[in-house]
């Protein structure tokens, strides 16, 4: 089984940022949430608030959108950002593990035929998390919870924060743009 991060790994940019900008263009009143989001970001950088608390503040913009319609239109206009290498190598038992919200990735994963998605559990209406951000060691915990001792044949990511999951794989790869290189453990 192969395991992939999503953003900047099989998708050319950050899907959450892209979705935010997409929604901001459709619903300009989202900009009213910006001061609070930036304030929470500063508190997160200063280690006063957690990453999850910052992201919940950011996701308050979800109150302003038509989630079903906006998600459909977003992926209709952004599915071209799925990297060709992934389309070519996709297998039925692939697993996507991402810190992005599950509700955001689910439509494109279904369209691509990806049955195994693990992502941050964020309420698409309130922006509140159920559990913690699916990041770093949490990805390993979630994978083992779902798949037990299953072997990860190959793991792909764009970031060293995924080293805990890379260490679980037989072979790991660092993805930068369209370049795929062997993972260099530090």
Residue-level pLDDT at 185: 80
Strands 95-101 and 152-157: unpaired
Query: Strand runs (DSSP E) across the chain, as ranges?
Result: 2-4, 95-101, 116-120, 152-157, 169-176, 179-182
Taken as a whole, the chain contains a residue count of 186
Distances (CA, A) of 91 to 82, 94, 177: 15, 6, 21
Q: What residue has token string 């929470």?
A: 40
Nearest-angstrom CA–CA distance, 64 and 52? 20
Low-confidence ranges of the chain (pLDDT < 50): none
Under a CB-based contact definition with an 8 Å cutoff, are residues 152 and 168 in contact? yes
**What was the pLDDT predicted at 51?**
86
The pLDDT score that the predictor gives to residue 155 is 98
> Computed over its alpha carbons, how large is the radius of gyration of the chain?
17
Question: Could you tell me the two tokens for 69?
Answer: 């319609």
How many Cα atoms sit within 13 Å of 100 on the Cβ side?
27
List pLDDT tens digits, range 130-178: 988 899 999 999 999 999 999 999 999 999 999 999 999 999 999 999 9
2-182: CATH, from 3.20.20.450, 3.40.50.1000, 3.40.50.720, 3.30.70.580:
3.40.50.1000
> What is residue 124's predicted lDDT score, i.e. its pLDDT?
96
Q: How many CB atoms lie within 10 A of CB 165?
A: 22
Res 28: pLDDT = 95
């Amino acid at each position: 089984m192969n395991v992939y991060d999503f953003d900047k790994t099989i998708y050319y940019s950050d899907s959450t940022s892209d979705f935010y900008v997409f929604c901001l263009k459709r619903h300009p009143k989202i900009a009213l949430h910006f001061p609070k989001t930036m304030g929470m970001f500063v508190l997160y950088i200063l280690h006063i608030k957690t990453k999850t608390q910052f992201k919940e503040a950011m996701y308050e913009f979800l109150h302003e959108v038509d989630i079903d319609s906006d998600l459909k239109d977003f992926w209709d206009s952004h599915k071209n950002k799925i990297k060709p290498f992934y389309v070519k190598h996709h297998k039925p038992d692939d697993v996507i593990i991402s810190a992005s919200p599950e509700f955001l990735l689910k439509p494109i994963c279904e369209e691509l035929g990806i049955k195994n998605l693990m992502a941050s559990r964020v309420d698409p209406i309130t922006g509140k998390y159920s559990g913690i951000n699916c990041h770093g060691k949490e990805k390993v915990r979630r994978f083992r919870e779902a798949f037990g001792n299953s072997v990860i044949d190959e793991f792909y990511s764009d970031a060293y924060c995924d080293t805990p999951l890379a260490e679980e794989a037989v072979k790991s790869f660092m993805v930068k743009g369209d370049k795929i290189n062997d993972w260099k453990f530090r």
